[in-house]
Amino acid sequence: MRALIIDDSRAMRAIMRRALNELGIVDCVEAGNGQEALLALAAASAPIGLAMVDWHMPVMDGLDFVKTVRATTPSAQLKIVMCTTETEIGHMVQALEAGADEYVMKPFTKEAIQSKLQILGLVDG
């Protein structure tokens, strides 16, 4: 499976890539904001099955990315995990209502990512 890591922090993208690699997801594409991510999805030569999305980014934030993708892409084709510092329950509800499949709060552990991806049926236990 291919994953799309969307975060404006290069360091955070590297941390996320390492966690996904350790969980067996080694084919990762990166984007620095939602607009870059939409372009990456459109240009992908093979299907992307997972998007790990930060909330706060310039140009297009994570919530707008989720809304845009969900307007055109069925949930079965792309699982979206919102990965953010937003800890308020209202933000979590907003992300899930917009079409995110799961929500994980930063800072996170590899085990937290693994748990969310297990729930989505993307990695083994």
Domain that holds residue 40: 2-119
Supply the CATH number for residue 63's domain: 3.40.50.2300
| 90 lies in some domain | yes
Instruction: Tell me if 124 is assigned to some domain.
Output: no
Using a pLDDT cut of 90, give the percent of the chain over it: 62
Domain count, the chain: 1
Q: Is the dihedral of CA 97, 98, 104, 105 positive or negative?
A: negative
- Tell me whether residue 52 is in a domain: yes
Q: What does the block give as tokens for 71?
A: 């307007």
Question: What CA–CA distance (Å, rounded) separates 27 from 20?
Answer: 9
Instruction: Encode pLDDT of 13-53 as tens digits.
Output: 999 999 999 999 989 999 999 999 999 998 888 889 999 99
Is residue 55 packed enough to be buried (19+ CB in 10 Å), middle (13-18) or exposed (0-12)? buried
At residue 115, the pLDDT reads: 92
User: Is residue 125 assigned to a domain?
Assistant: no
pLDDT in tens, 70-118: 998 766 689 999 998 877 888 888 899 999 999 998 888 889 999 999 9
Average pLDDT value over all residues in the chain: 90
Residue with structure tokens 């800890």?
A: 87
- CB-CB contact of 49 with 78 (8 Å): yes
With respect to residue 17, please indicate whether it lies within any of the assigned structural domains: yes
Closest listed residue to residue 3, CA positions, set 11, 118, 16: 16
Amino acid at 90: G
Domain-embedded: residue 57 = yes
Chain centroid, CA 20 distance in Å? 11
